[in-house]
Structure 1
Amino acid sequence: MARPDLNLLVTLDVLLEEGSVTRAGRRLALSPSAMSRALARLRRATGDPLLVKAGRGLVPTPRALELRDRVRVLVREAEDVLSPAHRLDLTTLSRTFTLRGSDGFVEAFGPRLVARVGAAAPGVRLRFLRKTSKDTAPLRDTVDLDTAVVEDPLPPDVLATPLFSDTFVGVVRPEHPLAGGPVTTDRYAAARHVNVSRRGLTEGLVDEALHPAGARRDVVTVVDGFAAAVALASGSDLVATVPDRHTAALREGLHTFTLPFPPPQVTVSLLWHTRLHADPAHQWLRAAVQDVCHETGDR
């Protein structure tokens, strides 16, 4: 079966509104002969004459009257579909966004983001997921926004923008020996450490920064997240070395010190899929996340 020419819907809508082939042709910028051919096609497609002569004019048939309102709705809906998105109304927006972040992101930025989103768009829900891998595949279907330290080229369908820079610091419980007096490279290296690695590695960025000073950490424990590292530092004599801004809320009540060697720095980026790039609601959420991260860093 041949597919119908949907352009005929627009022609039929104008014909039924004008009740005149001539006037409909003017509106559609068609010559009288072209308009007559279009009417003939409509008659063949519908199996009805649609408009018939009555004196010097044309009158619609019962079938035409039956179709008139339906055609008008279809044409208006098609025009709406093929038009740019309407202006975003946050007060009526009803949507759930899924955000994935590394351990500590929700604690550091979640409260301010939830408050900002709730005040502007009360119908929006935020769903936070903990990042367990660097795989960007979830952005293609289940995750709206992701945060990551981008080390390798991203797939062509994933977009990113820098969110904030973070510098590593040391953290110990207040009673730890490193909580008193200057922390030297020797004192730092001689302590017992917990390393953060999702792959279970005993060395990472911190060790790469420490080795030029001719020292090595004594890593006795490995965990897969910053929260676990800070928790161990809080309840033992282990030293956790973690990103400053990412773990600010996790380190409350603990002693934080500047590393005695050039600390590793990372840039955390915001990632999203190209399918959402032009979506007004997603654009608004991206801006909200960026604003909250900048505000939190300025405090």
Structure 2
Amino acid sequence: MLNETDLSRADLNLLVLFEAVIEEGHVGRAADRLNISPSAVSHGLQRLRRMLNDPLFVRTPRGVVATARAMELSAPVAEILAQVRSVISTAEPFDPARSSRRFTLGAPDGVSAVFLSALLAELEKSAPGIDISICQLLPEQGESAPARAWRNAFTDLEARAMDIAVVPSGDIPARFHSLTLYEEDFVIAMRAGHAFAQEPTLESYIGMRHLVVSLGGDPHGFVDIALEQRGLNRRMALTVPNFMFALAIAGESDMLVAVPRRFATLYAPRFGLVTVDAPLPLPRFRLSAVAPRAAMLDAGLSWLFGMLLSACEVQGPAGS
């Protein structure tokens, strides 16, 4: 928006003023919002008009209307100010009781659903101004090595698209800080009264129709790898993109679905489901909270790691 020579005469407060006027659509209301006089707003707008070589706002009986150029600048200015506010908030001593930061966490839904309730309850008590965004993570299709299966999560962390990723892996690249939250295995969920609950054998299992959680629709997962090692396979009748949806479908069908044990303990009863142990050994997963090592200099991020660990401890071990 400004070239290098312009930056020497730029005033960040003018961008704040621009934001207020374009959002309020009125000089007087913008002045009230910024706690300055309408005259100061008008003088600031004059400086902006000279700097940007555009009228920016046209007066009307009801206020002001943004020009096409002003509308074009509104999104970049909002982004610039958001970044500046983020830098300033992280530069100040972090006080969770007073902070108004937003943190973005990435996790598979079968993981975020385990820690989120306890995390929100603790935030309400000790950090009421902090907001959380959750984005769903699922592994790359066809990748079995954890470092490659979760590479998109690692890329997003380094790009600061999210603050912390929680991934089911203990194999974390050395450039990241990681903390083990808990260990998890999978159980088989089905509707109450299902025949498999009475006879949970491997032979019965492979004869059933199965529901598989897969973001991209790939029906082949770690359960199938375990079956193939025994020369067996199963019918994957349906794939759905997340575990909560899988529970809803399983509650209204005869399909079986493998789900994380802690997740099942919390949510399976809500959908009228029962669970049994898998009829063959399945891998256990270490749930690791991960962030770039350089990012851990942020006191707020370090605090959030502790909050995540506490939230998982509140839930207790699977089955408790």
TM-score using structure 2 length: 0.61
1:287 Cα deviation after fit: 0.5
Matched, 1:89 2:95: yes
Q: Following TM superposition, by how much is the alpha carbon of 1:227 offset from its aligned partner in structure 2, in angstroms? A: 1.9
**Is contact 1:190-1:217 (8 Å) kept?**
yes
Aligned length, in residue pairs: 213
How far apart in 1 are the matches of 2:283 and 2:227? 9
TM-aligned CA deviation for residue 149 of structure 1:
2.2
In 2, distance between residues paired with 1:151 and 1:195? Answer: 23
Letter in 2 for 1:242: V
Within the candidate set 108, 121, 131, 1:115 is matched to 121
1:229 aligns with 2:246: yes
1:273 aligns with 2:292: yes
> Do residues 182 (structure 1) and 199 (structure 2) align?
yes
Q: How do residues 228-267 of structure 1 correspond to structure 2 at under 5 angstroms?
A: 228-252=245-269, 253-267=272-286
Give 1:207's match in structure 2, choosing from 209, 215, 224: 224
Letter in 1 for 2:210: H
- Cα distance change on mapping 1:107 and 1:153 into 2, 3 Å: closer
- Displacement, 1:88? 4.1
Larger radius of gyration: 1
Kindly indicate whether the alpha-carbon contact (under 8 Å) linking 1:185 and 1:215 is maintained by their aligned counterparts in 2.
no
**1:239 Cα shift?**
0.5
Q: Which residue of 1 aligns with 2:160?
A: 141
- Residue 141 of structure 1 and its aligned partner are, at CA, apart by 1.7
Tell me the equivalent position of 2:43: none
User: Which residue, out of 111, 128, 146, partners 1:105?
Assistant: 111
Query: Which string of whole-angstrom CA distances, capped at 9 and with x for unpartnered residues, describes residues 101-121 of structure 1?
Result: 112333222111001122111
Alignment-mate amino acid for residue 178 of structure 1: F
Work out the CA distance in 1 between the residues paired with 2:170 and 2:177.
Answer: 14
Aligned-partner Cα distance in 2 for 1:284–1:159: 14
Check the 8 A contact 2:101/2:131 in 1, yes or no. Answer: yes
Deviation at 1:183, TM superposition (A): 0.7
Measure the CA separation in 2 of the matches of 1:184 and 1:214. 16
After TM superposition, give the deviation of residue 94 of structure 1 in Å: 2.1
Paired residue secondary structure (2:113): helix
Q: Deviation digits for residues 209-235 of structure 1, max 9, x if unmatched?
A: 233444322212222322232222111
1:163 and 1:268 in contact (8 A); partners too = yes
The separation in 2 between residues aligned to 1:117 and 1:151, in whole angstroms, is: 27
Question: CA RMSD of the aligned region, Å?
Answer: 2.3
Closer, same or farther in 2 for the Cα pair 1:275/1:118, shift >3 Å? farther
Relative to its length, the structure with more helix (as a share) is 2
Q: Equivalent residue of 2:237, what SS?
A: strand
> For the Cα contact (< 8 Å) 1:148–1:268, is it kept in 2?
yes
Partner SS for 1:208: helix
C-alpha separation in 2, matches of 1:177 and 1:129:
36
| Matching residue's letter, 1:147 | V
Gaps of 5+ in 2: 1-90, 140-149
CA offset digits 1:244-272 (Å, max 9, x no partner): 12343331231101112112211121111
The answer to whether the Cα contact below 8 Å between 1:173 and 1:234 also exists between their aligned partners in 2 is yes
Contact 2:167 2:289 in 1 (8 A): yes
Output the amino acid matched with 2:116: G
- Call closer, same or farther: CA 1:99–1:92 in 2, change over 3 Å: same
Alignment gaps of 5+ in structure 1: 1-84
Please state how far the C-alpha of 1:284 moved relative to its aligned partner. Answer: 1.0
Secondary structure of 2:192's match?
A: coil
SS of residue paired to 1:285: helix
What is the CA distance between 1:296 and its match in structure 2? 1.0
Per-residue deviation, residues 123-182 of structure 1 (Å, max 9, x unmatched) = 21112222255312221222111111237653x543222221111110000132113x23
Quick one: distance in 1 between partners of 2:98 and 2:315?
Answer: 28
Counterpart among 271, 286, 292 of residue 305 in structure 2: 286
AA partner of residue 123 (structure 1): G
